[in-house]
Amino acid sequence: MSRGWVGVSTGDQMTPAASVGIVPMTADRLDSAGQVFASSHADYPPWRYVFPDARQRERAQRVFFEATVRDALQFGAVDAALAGGRVLGIAVWLPPGRFPWSLARKLRVIPTMLRVLSVAPRRFRLFAGMGANAERFHPAYPHWNLETLGIRREAQGGGIGSRLMAPGLARADDAGLPCYLTTAKEPNLAFYERFGFEVTQEALPLVPGGPTHWGMRRLPRTTR
């Protein structure tokens, strides 16, 4: 039931960033969260491995990511990319001490986990194993954790991902804290390196028997 392992999918194809506003995510837009991440993470290696059936994968992602964003609205920070009132991308951050999730937060999402279980019962154990491994390998030092970042496929390639990163990095810099993330796509490394992230953990075995992850850290640009 843990997070952090949900992974970050980027892709900086068509909507120019200049026409997009970056604003705090609000609860009334939660129904968009599942849509955004089901689109952005449709081919993300860990999700494809855990849910090889595309329809099951989409259903699981819609349920799971909506719950992820709902939690972060209360315990973290969520930034959204909007164009014409439509959510094109979302960045989810958790502050120090909010990952791994507390027992109370895990209990709160049991109904969500049961819905994921109902989608693909035979894959749920592997899905849950990812969460347990993410907690096991997550760094203990204080940091802002980029829990997940996603942009609708049709909106990728216009710089929206870069603009979505900015508020979260600024919060960490203002607090004098590092940032941390994991990604399972090697092309993403260069994207995050542009913001000062460096690989600190290679071949993280977050997915039992599946694709590995890279752990990346960014030191603060300013100190308090």
| 87-134: pLDDT as tens digits | 999 999 999 999 999 999 999 999 999 999 999 999 999 999 999 999
CA gap 99, 110 in Å, rounded? 17
Q: Which fold has domain 17-168?
A: Aminopeptidase (3.40.630)
Give the per-residue pLDDT at 223: 52
Over the chain, what is the mean pLDDT?
Answer: 91
Whether pLDDT at 13 is above 50: no
pLDDT grade, residue 208 (50/70/90)? confident
The dihedrals phi and psi of 187, each to the nearest 5 degrees, come to -60, -20
Kindly list the domain boundaries of the chain, sorted by start residue.
Answer: 17-168
Give the per-residue pLDDT at 133: 94
What is the reported pTM? 0.90
Whether pLDDT at 10 is above 60: no
Q: Are 121 and 56 in contact (CB under 8 A)?
A: no
SS3 category, 108: helix
Q: Are 185 and 45 in contact (CB under 8 A)?
A: yes
pLDDT grade, residue 19 (50/70/90)? confident
Name the nearest CA neighbour of 94 among 195, 168, 5.
Answer: 168
Mean pLDDT calculated for residue range 196-223: 93
